[in-house]
Amino acid sequence: MTSVNKKEIDKFSKIADEWWDPEGKFKPLHKFNPIRIKYIKENIINSFKLKNKFKPLSGIDILDIGCGGGLLSEPMKRMGANVTGIDASDKNIKIAKLHSKKSKLKINYLCSSPEKFKIKKKFDVILNMEIIEHVEDIDFYLKSCSKLLKKNGIMFVATLNRTLKSYVFAIVGAEYILRWLPVGTHEWEKFVKPQDLKKILKKYDLILDKLEGMNFNIIKDEWSISKDLSVNYIGKFIKN
């Protein structure tokens, strides 16, 4: 079995050169990144009771799955974490390696999917950010991810809810009207309802700790955490 959807990998490989261009094809992700970083950082600090003010994530082993060009891996490393980034696109990994070298950051980047990623040491934290809506088999993919997480470790999952509102905002609005994303970036049928995500992860000993919405304010031109789960949401799951 495989969690890799070749069509999705090809789609992102074609635009991989633009990962670090804040005005390029990944512009929405650059706008999205500050709220993701803040949310992950605060939750890791609180969960592991970390005290280092200068390197707040010092000593934490993080696996960033579907790391792309390293937009999350690099900030995690700057905050002191030991970071491994994996992606099924070889081109994404090449871009990530090149950028981290320029940034003088030591990040372990590997071209792999979670089911093929063999490692003896498990991770404290797994980041599954905006990836599950692009995989071939969500159940198999999350089962493979859970095997890489330590007991009492945290998995963050950010994705899109399958609602009428998400179709209007994330596909019609973002892809066709505002042209924030290339047309065809998302397939609405692959969006995941929170209750389905919760059910799958529970099978693999991952229990929901908190679930929050992520909303974009078009007037302020910024993202914020909210109670509205109808479009984008993020879950924090803890392994039993």
Residues spanned by the domain of 144: 6-50+58-239
The reported pLDDT for the residue numbered 175 is 83
The reported pLDDT for the residue numbered 178 is 78
Three-state DSSP class for residue 122: coil
Q: Is residue 1 part of a domain?
A: no
Q: Is residue 113 part of a domain?
A: yes
- pTM for this model (two decimals): 0.95
Q: Does the structure show a pLDDT above 90 at 180?
A: no
The reported pLDDT for the residue numbered 173 is 85
Cβ–Cβ < 8 Å for 40, 47: no
pLDDT single digits (tens) 187-230:
999 999 999 999 999 999 999 999 999 999 989 989 999 999 99
Q: Does the structure show a pLDDT above 90 at 177?
A: no
Query: Number of structural domains, the chain?
Result: 1
User: Which distant-in-sequence residues (6+ apart) come within 8 Å of 101 by Cβ?
Assistant: none
Cβ–Cβ < 8 Å for 105, 74: yes
Q: Is residue 176 part of a domain?
A: yes
Q: Does the structure show a pLDDT above 90 at 101?
A: yes
Select from 154, 157, 220 the least CA-distant residue to 191. 157
Q: Does the structure show a pLDDT above 90 at 176?
A: no
Distance CA(89)–CA(67), nearest Å, equals 10
User: Which distant-in-sequence residues (6+ apart) come within 8 Å of 105 by Cβ?
Assistant: 74, 77, 78
Percent of the chain with pLDDT over 90: 90
Q: Is residue 188 part of a domain?
A: yes
What tokens does 47 get? 């969960």
Q: Is residue 185 part of a domain?
A: yes
Distance CA(193)–CA(229), nearest Å, equals 9
What tokens does 170 get? 């994330």
What tokens does 61 get? 């082993």
pLDDT single digits (tens) 30-62:
999 999 999 999 999 999 999 999 999 999 999
CATH number at residue 184: 3.40.50.150
> Mean pLDDT over all residues of the chain?
96
